[in-house]
Structure 1
Amino acid sequence: MKPLEPRKYPVGIQVFSMIRNENYLYVDKTEYVYRMTHANSKYMFLSRPRRFGKSLLTDTLQCYFEGRKELFEGLAIEKLETEWTEYPVLHFDMSMGKHLDEKALIRYLQSILQDNEIRQGTQARETEDVNVRLKDLIMDTYAKYNKEVVVLIDEYDAPLLDVMHEEEELPKLRNVMRNFYSPLKACGKYLRYVFLTGITKFSQLSIFSELNNIQNISMLPEYAAVCGITEEEMRTQMNIDMELLADKLGTGKEEAMERLKENYDGYHFAWPSPDIYNPYSLLGALNEGRLASYWFGSGTPTYLIEMLNKYQIIPQAIGGRQCEASDFDAPTERMTDITPLLYQSGYLTIKDYSPFSELYLLDIPNKEVRIGLMKSLLANYVKRPAELRTLVGQMAERIHFDDMDGALRLMQTVLSTVPYCENTRYEGHYQQMLYLIFTLLGNFSDVEVRTPTGRVDVVMRTHSTLYIIELKLDKSAAEALRQIDLKQYPERFALCGLPIVKVGINFDTERHTLESWEIRTGQG
């Protein structure tokens, strides 16, 4: 059998022409491009988390409007588009406008206006007013080409995200951006299409307060898969890639896809929606031939952790949120609850929807995000979180070989020596820390599993055993076991096909470690 040829994956590449000309993998989204550009609204907004393909989609739109038909050969749009009319395109990438004060932001806007003037060959207007300069650029471009102008604004909200909750700086920068965007309405008759991407909707920007005809496609089912990669796309357009990955992992193709699904799948930005895989992580795994934390590891969520602490959100309460769309598809600039930030940043996603109650269920999308979040939260509980991460790895090895007693002895030793943070005087601190540790045993465990009679603290599955674990504080391991029996938890898992082992654990809050545990097999 002839070995498969290596493939090129566009990790971090957001330039459509480069991907097409240099034979990188491209998952065909051009049917959406045609649908977007032939809709009734010529103003559109799309919200997606970072590194989800917004910039590549924007660049694809630019190539389409510039009539670069040769780049689209063999793609879905080739059968849909018959005219390929060329339009002048103004493209503004706001991603470099972060961490700037008011004066620096104005200089940045002047710079990207100048870039577009040079590209269009129009006269540079010497003015300090960025809105006047944008208006002149639109009208000069229209006059030069006698064609309506396309305006693409990628990451329109980037200059504001880092100061979202700074009462002094946010109004200043928001005024600058409101001023800059104001011509988009005034110049409407000169515009063919306006597309903006971002993470959140800033309600007090002129875009959303004045452009009352802007269509927000972020939660429309027909655009659910416009960014990200679906399993159908993987099985049809990426079949060779799945075989290549399976070969590198030393597994069959279906097992490789199951591991990808567990780690990177699970996003829904509308309902109904196909399962969406995180494209950055998926391409990273294909490129390197291994599963790792690509998306979560690409940006340290310092601000997110600060907000979780500010709103006093315990680890167990991050997911499993029922709410209306207005509770999470909402501007985050004045949020009183962390839900919009968690959703729009990609740490929560839609998992279900009830037409009767009109409530959405939001939860953590997949293993990569869950493990990444929990690792980041460890620093809230111990002064040297690396010790707990090492503990988790050592426990996982023992549990894999069915040495639960050895794993708990190891936990007892480490927790008795690790220095804790200052806020340890309340009972919940230790419950939350144990929750984090067992959650990080992510290959095996589910935490707070619902049964008809209550919630099991931890259910852990290995290749040969199903563990039902109950945790107590300052009580006894025997009492923990009695709860398992009284609540008849084993009956909930009777059909799993594995021997069931019950584990009762008691934590001593004075000694800051496990006081005792009991392990019981079978029904005894």
Structure 2
Amino acid sequence: MSYKKKLPVGVDSFSKLIRQNFYYIDKTDLLMNLLNNWAEVNLFTRPRRFGKSLNMSMMQTFFEIGCDKTLFDGLKISEEKELCQEYMGQFPVISVSLKGVEGQNFQEALAAMKWIIGQEALRFRFLLDSSRLSAEDKEIYRQLIEVGKGESGLFIMSNDTLGASLKILSDLLCRHYGKGVILLIDEYDVPLDKAFQYGYYDQMVSLLRIVFGNVLKTNSSLYFAVLTGCLRISKESIFTGLNNLKTLTITNAQFDEYFGFTDKEVREMLSYYELEEHYETMKEWYDGYRFGKTDVYCPWDAINFCDDLRADDEAYPQNYWSNTSGNAIVHRLLNKADSVTKNEIENLIAGNEIIKEIHQELTYSELDQSVENLWSVLFTTGYLTQRGRVDGRKYRLAIPNREIRELFITQIREWFRQTSRNDTGTLETFCQAFPQKNAAKIEELLNEYLWHTISIRDISGREKKENFYHGILQGLLRYKENWLIKSNAESGEGYSDILIEIPESRTGIIIEIKYAEGAAFDLSCHKAVEQIREKHYDAILLEDGMENIIKYGIAFYKKRCKVLLV
């Protein structure tokens, strides 16, 4: 294969990406559209890993005084000659990411914010020699960059100075250069998320209200500002009195194609790396998001899968996006799920849509007040997408792709396991019914369990519908910690679904699972046990010294099952 550009896995620095010859999907049209349609304060809300940080880096590289203009050679924005002449390299730029503002208490988070803003302030040390600044101005600047002696890099600016820090910096830069400042704040809502998790939410709201209020409200030194985040935080009062804010969420058509990869862009990337035959797999797993009126792929997924395919043409798709987070919001939804919510989750996993009223301006403190609020957060953070507006704030919501469907199923399996352990008596009876050859009891308790918990009525698009039930059953049986349980183990002439060895009684159990299409339980059970016989699944159990072999064929359909003992 001829030389190909590197794929930018985890690279969110625009200059590094271009200089080091990484593959870049050109989003510089964003600059033209922003300059033709900007408000004084522009807020973009998008899910994580959809290119927010890279776009912010691209903006900084374009606007900042002293920028390397050759970085944009050959890109779309370079065709706008007049615009480039007027704006490229013409502005002082303050750029901060609040992604690292976290801590287990408010003091730790406060120190993190001082560090981030202090480090940005240090980029402008030339202000200490500026002929346009007074001695008093320079003293104020020193308060931004002063570090504690013997404390290795801990900025010791006062809390009052922190609250005014971005306003101070913008004023000083404006006076030095004689022109307004462009302010870029990436991941503006991360400090609120962390504060909510660790219990100092109100304190963080107060701090951000002061910082943002000072720099964004009636600031004559500001040319314009761009903020990015996952959630639209308007009721928080962190933007109190701010009437110059333009919010661009995932439901807005404007700027909809600049965060995420379009189908055309993904096809071109696969073609460039000679991987066109993997297009359908890429689409099934990572497409399906709708921002405004544009369908997009998750860039993090598309780049990672393409990178894996370059190394191994038979690489299997992974949950790249969902594995970059703890997915606490899905846990939160499941913990609050009532029977109605469980049915809605079933419909979503089955590939259907549900209609919900979406509130994109929720506060973190409102999340747990109602399960209905959690649907809005699942939507804005990328776990669900919209298939069209119904009326007003009501949208048809769906799971975007196979990766997120697998995530929901995985989380539900874990929920099953946690729920089952709360009823140890019934679970002990259920497990003991297997070596006792009590198929009727297994069937009774498993049907009862399926009926009262989340089950999947249909799993459209899945290669093997029985995989979900396999996970449920395996999770329940693992209650018996002294049993050796093997899943999809090679035995005889194939791979059995579940094998169990009970050492103390030398009993081996074989379980083969089938999905009973059209509720054909008897036929499916008989197919299962016939497969056990034909494939000699008992071979490994006999080799391991199991003397009593028990065989079960279990057929599932929606919330029902049938158990056949051989």
Q: Distance in 2 between matches of 1:162 and 1:310?
A: 21
One of 258, 268, 276 as aligned partner of 1:226: 258
| Residue pairs, 1:142-157, within 5 angstroms | 142-157=174-189
The reply to whether residue 106 of structure 1 matches residue 110 of structure 2 is yes
Give the 3 Å change call, closer, same or farther, for CA 331–54 of structure 1 in structure 2.
same
* 8 A Cα contact 2:270 2:279, kept in partner: no
Indicate the structure (1 or 2) with the bigger Cα radius of gyration. 2
Give the equivalent residue in structure 1 for 2:68. 68
CA distance in 2, matches of 1:468, 1:357: 41
Q: Deviations over 1:426-477 (max 9, x none)?
A: 94645756529x7498235599xxxxxxxxxxxxxxxxxxx87245xxxx94
Match of 1:380 among 415, 422, 425: 415
Aligned to 1:407: none
2 CA distance for matches of 1:506 and 1:10? 44
Q: Which runs of 5+ in 1 are unaligned?
A: 247-252, 386-411, 418-423, 448-466, 482-502, 518-524
1:115 maps to what in 2? 119
Q: Call closer, same or farther: CA 1:120–1:353 in 2, change over 3 Å.
A: same
Answer yes or no: is the 8 Å Cα contact 2:456–2:558 preserved in 1: no
Whichever residue aligns with residue 381 of structure 2, its letter is S
1:89 is aligned, of 77, 93, 98, to: 93
Q: 1:46 offset after TM fit, Å?
A: 0.8
The one-letter code matched in structure 2 to 1:350 is Q
Match of 2:308 among 288, 313, 325: 288
- Aligned partner of 1:307 in structure 2 is 333
What is the correspondence of 1:261-280 to structure 2 with a 5 Å cutoff?
A: 261-270=283-292, 272-273=293-294, 275-280=295-300
Give 1:208 deviation, angstroms.
3.5
Q: Is 1:514 aligned with 2:562?
A: yes
Percent identity, aligned pairs only? 23
Distance in 2 of aligned mates of 1:479 and 1:259: 32
Q: How does 1:296-445 map to 2 (within 5 A)?
A: 296-312=322-338, 313-314=341-342, 315-316=345-346, 318=348, 320-324=353-357, 326-328=358-360, 330-335=362-367, 336=370, 337=372, 338-354=374-390, 359-382=394-417, 427=448, 429-430=450-451, 432=453, 434-435=455-456, 439=459, 442-445=462-465
Query: Counterparts in 2 of 1:149-298, with a 5 A limit?
Result: 149-164=181-196, 169-218=200-249, 219-236=251-268, 239-241=271-273, 243=274, 246=275, 253=276, 255-270=277-292, 272-273=293-294, 275-289=295-309, 290=315, 291-298=317-324
SS in 2 for 1:162: helix
Kept in 2, the 8 Å contact 1:371–1:439? The answer is no
- Measure the CA separation in 2 of the matches of 1:152 and 1:102: 24
What is residue 450 of structure 1 aligned with on the other side? none
Q: Give the structure 1 partner of residue 151 of structure 2.
A: none
Provide the TM-score with structure 2 as the length reference.
0.67
Q: Note closer, same or farther for the CA distance 1:506–1:197 as it changes in structure 2 (3 Å cut).
A: closer
Q: 1:333 to 1:426 in 2, by over 3 A?
A: farther
Q: Counterpart of 1:183 in structure 2: which amino acid? A: N
SS in 2 for 1:216: strand
In the aligned structure 2, how far is the partner of 1:10 from the partner of 1:427?
A: 50
Q: Within the alignment, does 1:124 sit opposite 2:156 as a pair?
A: no
RMSD between superposed Cα atoms in Å: 3.6
Q: What secondary structure is seen at the aligned counterpart in 2 of 1:292? A: coil
The TM-score with structure 1 as length reference comes to: 0.72
- Provide Cα deviations, 1:4-34, integer angstroms capped at 9, x if missing partner: 4343111111000000000001100000122
The one-letter code of the counterpart of 2:185 is: I
Give per-residue Cα distances to partners, 1:16-55, cap 9 Å, x unaligned: 0000000001100000122113324121111111111111
In the TM superposition, what is the alpha-carbon distance from 1:292 to its structure 2 partner? 1.6
Instruction: State the distance in 2 between where 1:468 and 1:425 align.
Output: 15
For each residue in 1:256-314, what CA deviation from the matched residue of structure 2 results, as whole angstroms up to 9, or x when unmatched? 111100000000122x22x2011001100111113222111222313431332124442
Secondary structure at the counterpart of residue 412 of structure 2: helix
How far apart, CA to CA, are the structure 2 residues paired with 1:322 and 1:165? 29
- C-alpha deviation, 1:57, in angstroms: 0.8
Q: CA deviation at 1:221?
A: 1.1
Q: Secondary structure at the match of 1:381?
A: helix
CA contact (8 A) 2:231 2:380 kept: yes
| Secondary structure of residue in 1 paired with 2:123 | helix
> Which of these residues, 52, 55, 58, is aligned with residue 54 of structure 1?
52
TM-aligned CA distance change 1:237 to 1:140, over 3 Å? same
Tell me the amino acid that sits aligned with residue 377 of structure 2.
L
User: Contact 1:374–1:440 (CA<8 Å) still a contact in 2?
Assistant: no
CA distance in 1, matches of 2:221, 2:79: 29
1-structure distance, mates of 2:202, 2:84? 46
Establish whether residue 469 from structure 1 lines up as the match of residue 551 from structure 2: no
Q: In the aligned structure 1, how far is the partner of 2:328 from the partner of 2:559?
A: 31
- Does the C-alpha gap of structure 1 residues 42 and 20 become closer, same or farther in structure 2, counting only changes over 3 Å? same
1:302–1:27 Cα change, 3 Å: same
CA 1:162–1:132 in 2, change beyond 3 Å: closer, same or farther?
A: closer
Aligned-pair CA distance for 1:158: 0.4
> For 2:17 and 2:362, how far apart are their aligned partners in 1?
34
What is the CA–CA distance in structure 1 between the aligned matches of 2:266 and 2:301, rounded to whole Å? 14
Question: 1:317 and 1:333 mapped to 2: Cα distance?
Answer: 28
- Offset at residue 323 of structure 1 (A): 2.8
**Residue of structure 2 in register with 1:45 after alignment:** 43
SS at match of 1:38: helix
Q: Tell me, which stretches of 5 or more residues in structure 2 are unaligned?
A: 128-140, 144-156, 310-314, 421-432, 439-444, 468-514, 526-553
Deviation at 1:379, TM superposition (A): 1.4
